[in-house]
Amino acid sequence: MNKKTNSLPAITEKEFMDEVVETAQLGGWLVYHTYDSRRSQAGFPDLVMVRHGRVIFAELKSEKGRIRPEQQLWLDELMKSDAVETFLWRPSDSETMQKTLLGQRLLTQ
């Protein structure tokens, strides 16, 4: 007998990226993403978002995606700054990501 599972297919990093960018734009953030990073500094975070003097650097991963040492180095160094916020978000962090980018007020409307 075949057992069916009710689990949803895993969301890819690209699909999650699209969700984060859409959410950020809905919240009025300016969003930057380097689409072709082959000539860029290794490890730079996936997204830079700016709104009302607030700056967020976000590295995005699938649920099973591993952070490379270069990516961790960038996040660690950015976290030392009081001027920016840094995040490592996975699809399971969607609620936190939405609260960060939209604010609690926008989520309840």
In a domain, 48, yes or no: yes
In a domain, 2, yes or no: no
The CATH number assigned to the domain holding 87 equals 3.40.1350.10
Query: Using only C-alpha atoms, what is the Rg of the chain?
Result: 16
In a domain, 85, yes or no: yes
- Quick one: pLDDT at residue 74? 96
- Quick one: pLDDT at residue 36? 76
- Quick one: pLDDT at residue 4? 47
User: Domain range for residue 49?
Assistant: 13-34+42-99
Predicted confidence pLDDT, tens digits, the chain (109 residues) = 444 445 667 899 999 999 999 999 999 999 999 887 777 888 999 999 999 999 999 999 999 999 999 999 999 999 999 999 999 999 999 999 999 999 865 555 5
Q: How many structural domains comprise the chain? A: 1
